[in-house]
């Protein structure tokens, strides 16, 4: 049985005083934002350690935070450090897909479970961590991003999910609305729509629904309505969404007028015949919730509440 076919393991929560590592698997990181994010983590009584290549910029491709090999090495070194309990991506952007196959996954498996936090481009790493290590993760804000630094609610939701996960087993948002009514149970999975579509067929794997049914989490940024349509259609035609029991939709920042996006989402997702909640408040917006990936949950689309059957972390 492959790791992805087994129930995912919830890593243990960080405790006060624990070391947490910051890595940059994707885009370049601004020093002033990184410094500010580190200060926030210290204020939570955590001990953040910034890996050596976080502030690098690729010598020829300035959309990458250093070379693929260096970004992969930082992730491996952070994960394999026995004093580190959580690994946080500094930011998203682009680049995780380039380095994911350079990671020494056997070394990560031998090092044992760790919490991994990130979203956006980090969807590719979440997929690999679930598939290759059998671990749940956190689709959550990153310490060198504007939403984390400027929004108190974003910080608080991540802090509680990391340090007191039993306090955030019911997840909702003031703006959440029912797109398709009903109730569903399944294991949370998903992330950034364009990254999920981009993972289709890689080394013969699909970003498939968990065994027993899954509640799909979707969001994206900068994708026009026709591109959102294309990505969803690709997922549907591939069979990657077979077995989905419910859908939770986050933000679609800079994707065009929301009513146009909403029509696409309704057209593509309503035929699944499962409950769907929109505008749940996670992803690339100015404020973002932390949602666990790989945790059993119940979705009440009428009440717009996602209830975790167990805390996100052990």
Closest to 31 (Cα-Cα) out of 9, 54, 11: 54
Tell me the pLDDT tens digit for each residue of 43-80: 999 999 999 999 999 999 999 999 999 999 999 999 99
Give the pLDDT of residue 5: 39
Please indicate, yes or no, whether residues 220 and 151 belong to a single structural domain of this protein.
no
Please pick, among 139, 173, 219, 223, the residue that the annotation labels catalytic. 219
Question: Which range of residues forms the domain containing residue 225?
Answer: 170-308
End-to-end CA distance of the chain: 23
User: Is 313 within a domain?
Assistant: no
Please indicate, yes or no, whether residues 159 and 174 belong to a single structural domain of this protein.
no
Burial class (CB in 10 A: 0-12, 13-18, 19+), 257: exposed
Tell me the pLDDT tens digit for each residue of 257-310: 999 999 999 999 999 999 999 999 999 999 999 999 999 999 999 999 999 999
Give the pLDDT of residue 222: 97
Please indicate, yes or no, whether residues 207 and 130 belong to a single structural domain of this protein.
no
Spatial separation of the C-alpha atoms in residues 209 and 105, rounded to whole Å: 22
Residue 109 belongs to a domain with what CATH number? 3.40.50.10740
Query: Is 231 noted as a catalytic residue in this protein?
Result: no
Please indicate, yes or no, whether residues 9 and 157 belong to a single structural domain of this protein.
yes
Q: Which of 163, 195, 227 is the last residue of a domain?
A: 163
User: Is 120 within a domain?
Assistant: yes
Query: Is 219 noted as a catalytic residue in this protein?
Result: yes
Please indicate, yes or no, whether residues 179 and 138 belong to a single structural domain of this protein.
no
Total count of domains within the chain = 2
Give the pLDDT of residue 81: 98
User: Is 21 within a domain?
Assistant: yes
- Contacts of residue 1, Cβ cutoff 8 Å, sequence gap at least 6: none
- Contacts of residue 237, Cβ cutoff 8 Å, sequence gap at least 6: none
Query: Is 284 noted as a catalytic residue in this protein?
Result: yes
Please pick, among 26, 223, 284, 287, the residue that the annotation labels catalytic. 284
Please indicate, yes or no, whether residues 45 and 60 belong to a single structural domain of this protein.
yes
- Contacts of residue 170, Cβ cutoff 8 Å, sequence gap at least 6: 305, 306, 307, 308
User: Is 314 within a domain?
Assistant: no
Please indicate, yes or no, whether residues 37 and 95 belong to a single structural domain of this protein.
yes
Please indicate, yes or no, whether residues 109 and 35 belong to a single structural domain of this protein.
yes
Give the pLDDT of residue 76: 98
Spatial separation of the C-alpha atoms in residues 171 and 168, rounded to whole Å: 7
Please pick, among 26, 53, 58, 120, the residue that the annotation labels catalytic. 120
pTM here is: 0.96
Q: Is residue 210 pLDDT above 90, yes or no?
A: no
What's the average model confidence in pLDDT over 248-258?
A: 97
Task: Check: CB of residue 247 under 8 Å from CB of residue 216.
Answer: yes
| 92 compared with 208, residue with greater pLDDT | 92
Q: Which of 121, 141, 163 is the last residue of a domain?
A: 163
Q: Is residue 196 pLDDT above 50, yes or no?
A: yes
Please indicate, yes or no, whether residues 9 and 99 belong to a single structural domain of this protein.
yes
Give the pLDDT of residue 207: 64
Please indicate, yes or no, whether residues 175 and 298 belong to a single structural domain of this protein.
yes
The chain-wide mean pLDDT, for the chain, equals: 95
């Amino acid at each position: 049985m492959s790791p992805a076919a087994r129930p995912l393991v919830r890593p243990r929560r960080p405790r006060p005083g624990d070391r947490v590592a910051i890595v940059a698997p994707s885009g370049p990181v601004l020093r002033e934002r990184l410094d500010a994010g580190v200060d926030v983590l210290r204020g939570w009584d955590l001990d953040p350690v910034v890996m050596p290549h976080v502030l690098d910029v690729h010598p020829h491709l300035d959309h990458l935070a250093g070379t693929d090999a260096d970004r992969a090495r930082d992730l491996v070194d952070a994960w394999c450090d026995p004093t580190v309990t959580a690994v946080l991506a500094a930011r998203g952007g682009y680049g995780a897909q380039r380095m994911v196959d350079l990671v020494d996954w056997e070394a990560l498996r031998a090092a044992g479970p760790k919490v991994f936090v990130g979203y956006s481009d980090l969807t590719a790493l979440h997929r690999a961590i679930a598939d290759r290590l059998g671990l749940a993760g956190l689709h959550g804000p990153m310490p060198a991003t504007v939403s984390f630094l400027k929004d108190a609610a974003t910080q608080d939701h991540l802090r509680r999910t990391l340090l007191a996960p039993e306090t955030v087993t019911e997840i909702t948002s003031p703006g959440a609305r029912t797109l398709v009514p009903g109730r569903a149970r399944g294991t949370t999975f998903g992330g950034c729509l364009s990254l999920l579509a981009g993972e289709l067929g890689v080394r013969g794997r699909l970003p498939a629904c968990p065994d027993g049914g899954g509640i799909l989490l979707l969001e994206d940024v900068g994708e026009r309505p026709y591109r959102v349509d294309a990505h969803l259609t690709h997922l549907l035609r591939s069979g990657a969404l077979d077995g989905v029991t419910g859908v939770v939709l986050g933000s679609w920042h800079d994707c065009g007028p929301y009513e146009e996006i909403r029509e696409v989402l309704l057209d593509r997702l309503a035929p699944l015949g499962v409950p769907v909640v929109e505008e749940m408040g996670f992803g690339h917006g100015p404020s973002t919730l932390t949602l666990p990936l790989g945790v059993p949950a119940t979705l009440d689309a009428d009440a717009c509440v996602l209830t975790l059957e167990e805390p996100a972390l052990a």
